[in-house]
Amino acid sequence: MVSSFREPLILKFLDTNESKRFEVASPFTYYIDRLGGNLKVSIPIGFRTDFASVPRLFWRVIPPIGLYGKAAVVHDYLCENKHAWQIDNQGNSACYMVSRKEADKIFRDAMQVLGVGKIKRNIMFLGVRLYSIFTFKK
């Protein structure tokens, strides 16, 4: 199995002043062939996202919405919910706890699946890693 997105990302724009202004309108899944087995991240209807949390200063280079949009939604979900589903060879699933570091790596890998260029992908990965290091002390 190769990591993949199989459904389109369908969102609803929320007319609100909150930072998370988009809501998932149709179930959305990212399948991952990494981390020692097959994983899937299932994002339910109603999950809210702001796409990529890029500081406004950098929007000309990396806007919050781009080719990496699906990867950003998956990353938001993993950072908030901290789990994916591990699928065995018989199709059974078990909860797999995802660390912040793994969520960041999944974000980078998902961007590669989406065809985001190596330089932009690595800059965005570095950004989320730095944010993690300085915000989540563990």
Give 35-81 pLDDT, tens digit per residue: 555 889 999 999 999 888 877 787 788 887 889 999 999 999 999 99
- Residue 46: which region, alpha, beta or left (left: phi > 0; alpha: psi -120 to 50)? left
Q: In what order do the strands lie in the sheet with 93-97?
A: 4-5, 28-34, 37-43, 83-87, 93-97
> Whose CA is closest to 128, among 99, 89, 91?
99
Tokens 């944010």, residue located: 131
- Cα-to-chain-centroid distance, residue 60: 21
- pLDDT the model gives residue 105: 93
Quickly list H helices, 10-99: 69-81
> Whose CA is closest to 101, among 73, 122, 132, 70?
132
Cα torsion through 116, 117, 122, 125, rounded to 10: -10
Pick the more confident residue, 116 or 130: 116
Confidence of residue 23 (pLDDT cuts 50, 70, 90): very high
Q: Is 126's pLDDT higher than 70?
A: yes
> Whose CA is closest to 69, among 11, 18, 118, 126?
11
Q: Where are the beta strands (DSSP E) in the chain?
A: 4-5, 11-13, 22-24, 28-34, 37-43, 48-49, 83-87, 93-97
Q: Is 138's pLDDT higher than 60?
A: no
- pLDDT the model gives residue 74: 96
